[in-house]
Structure 1
Amino acid sequence: MFYKKNYRAILINTLLIGSVASAANAATLIEQQSTRPNPMTKEVKTFKQTMLVEGLKGRMNGALPNGQYVLMDVGAGKTFMVNPKEKMVIDMSTPPQMPKMPKQLKQAPADKPAAKSELIKVGTGPEIAGYPTTHYQVKADGKLCADQYVSEPALKVKHLKHFMESMGKMNAERKKAVGAMPFMKMNPCFIVAEEVAGDLLAKGIVLRTQSPDGNRDFEVLKIQTDVSVPANDFIIPTGFEIATPQQMMQRAMQRMNQQMQKNMPPAK
């Protein structure tokens, strides 16, 4: 459950984010923050993340708990979740396997729209992180889902254009491989957000996403170029074990079975 939840979140968030040099890289740094209100308490929490992009490689810090981070090589179609504390790497490059539909139920094709999507240009938006923006609204079946503030000049920042174009292609291929989600009724706004992601990317970089209630779900705070970072920031640390999500689930099931057997009363 943790993997599936974070897989999709990371898949949508990385839309906003070369070869590794021998000593240090001149990367582009994006500082951003997300705010998520608790539906029960209405308390709003703010999470700050940084993204480093160099060529077709990227690193996302702060998106996962306990010091974990995400490494990407969008040119090779690779994504990894790295856990330094446990020296474990989860290879997220292969999309999760969806359960098969029962024969009596028919699965919708992956390209069949589940909601009518609209991307409407409203006009000039505010300056964000030093870049001009254009204001768009995203709607699902006529209902406002989000206000998006997109910057075309920001897309011309070093490293970002090719990285994001490759990321968009990789995400489209993964979505096609996963197909429709059986047994799951998804929020129309969530579906539409994925559908219009490519159209937004063609217009620039999303610097702010605002929900209908006015909450700033996502905002870029700063974009800085030519940041010197160690070359190994973009590679998997040596000595770390690499496993697929399926392997991690199998291990969890084995531990659960062992614990259940341990707690069982002795046979009489």
Structure 2
Amino acid sequence: MKKTITVLLISLAINNSAFSDSLLVNKTDDGKATVWLNEKYMRFTFTEEKQNDDSPAPSADMITNFSSGKTYMINHKEKVLLDTSSTPMFSGGMMPEREPANNPDILYTRKGAGETIASLKTTRYEVSIKGKKCFDMWLTKDSAYTRIIKKIDSAQGGGGDAYGDICENIHENSTSYDEKYGYPVKTITADGKLNMLVVEFKTNVNAPRKYLSFPAGYKIMTMTEMMQKGRPPGNDQ
């Protein structure tokens, strides 16, 4: 009997963990990205570093339904959820094909143990492509962080900009390398500028009430429908 109860408790704990909320906050070179997610939904907001104080709303506010694979841009002013899967510029239809993830020209050179960042132990690497140094990266193989990043990546379609700087496309082409070396926690460009830094990472926490669900009373629209009505796609308030 005691063994049965123990098994049930362990099973319950595993199930609760699988469906609990997680939080990831990144500082970037131009603002702050915040991601809340669970097994059903992901909510992404981005706030520009130099955002106008008169506009406290995030520059971008989006919600993903993992079951349908669709992502919606939230327009709070119009109370509209814009289906980005119907829009080539968001779904990747307007983007050129990216290089294969196993690009042999990407080189990771281990520089030793890195500092602990947001409770994540890291290893520091110098990353170059085609002989050009691109980044110093602090990578982690933390299992919880890996699981969350893979979940986030599963919701992101499209490819990198084949016409952009080769260094900027490393993030779009590094899937197989992430598995081998770990996932980025901190990235510094070759000229010493901050590209990305995880400032907060938590699992088994509670998102704000009703945050990971579709806002009540909001209408789902395609980009075509919104443009026909003369409404802006953004989140201006």
TM range (shorter): 0.5 to 0.7
1:50 aligned residue (30, 34, 48): 34
Letter in 1 for 2:108: I
Query: Secondary structure of 2:168's partner?
Result: helix
1:74 aligned residue (51, 60, 66): 66
Find the aligned partners of 2:32 and 2:24 in 1 and give their Cα distance: 11
Query: Secondary structure of 2:68's partner?
Result: coil
Residue 118 of structure 1 is matched in structure 2 by: 106
Q: 1:111 to 1:145 in 2, by over 3 A?
A: closer
Q: 1:244 to 1:152 in 2, by over 3 A?
A: same
2:217 aligned residue (239, 256, 260): 239
Find the aligned partners of 1:28 and 1:152 in 2 and give their Cα distance: 17
Residue 164 of structure 1 is matched in structure 2 by: 149
- Measured after TM superposition, the shift of residue 77 of structure 1 is 1.7
- Measured after TM superposition, the shift of residue 243 of structure 1 is 2.4
Query: Secondary structure of 2:173's partner?
Result: helix
2:22 aligned residue (25, 28, 38): 28
Instruction: Give the fraction of aligned pairs with identical amino acids, expressed as a percent.
Output: 22
Size of the aligned set, in residue pairs, is 201
Q: Structure 1 length as normaliser, TM-score? A: 0.61
- Measured after TM superposition, the shift of residue 239 of structure 1 is 2.2
Letter in 2 for 1:150: L
Find the aligned partners of 2:76 and 2:23 in 1 and give their Cα distance: 22
Query: Which runs of structure 2 are paired with 1:1-268 in the superposition (5 Å)?
Result: 26-36=20-30, 47-63=31-47, 66-67=57-58, 68-94=60-86, 95-98=91-94, 117-122=105-110, 123-153=112-142, 155-156=143-144, 161=147, 163-171=148-156, 174-175=157-158, 185-200=163-178, 203-230=181-208, 232-249=210-227
Tell whether the 8 Å contact from 1:26 to 1:229 is kept in structure 2 after alignment. no
Which structure has greater helix proportion? 1
Q: 1:150 to 1:240 in 2, by over 3 A?
A: same
Tell whether the 8 Å contact from 1:74 to 1:167 is kept in structure 2 after alignment. no
Letter in 1 for 2:33: Q
Deviations 1:105-155 (A, max 9, x none): xxx865569x864140313222111221012233222111222211112x3
Query: Secondary structure of 1:193's partner?
Result: coil
Find the aligned partners of 1:143 and 1:53 in 2 and give their Cα distance: 36
Q: 1:97 to 1:249 in 2, by over 3 A?
A: farther
Letter in 1 for 2:61: Y
Find the aligned partners of 1:138 and 1:247 in 2 and give their Cα distance: 44
Residue 7 of structure 2 is matched in structure 1 by: none
Find the aligned partners of 2:225 and 2:130 in 1 and give their Cα distance: 40
Query: Secondary structure of 2:85's partner?
Result: coil
Deviations 1:165-223 (A, max 9, x none): 3443454xx33xx7x97xx7322222332111452255433211111111111111122
Q: Structure 2 length as normaliser, TM-score? A: 0.68
Runs (4+) off by over 4 Å: 108-113, 246-253
RMSD: 3.4
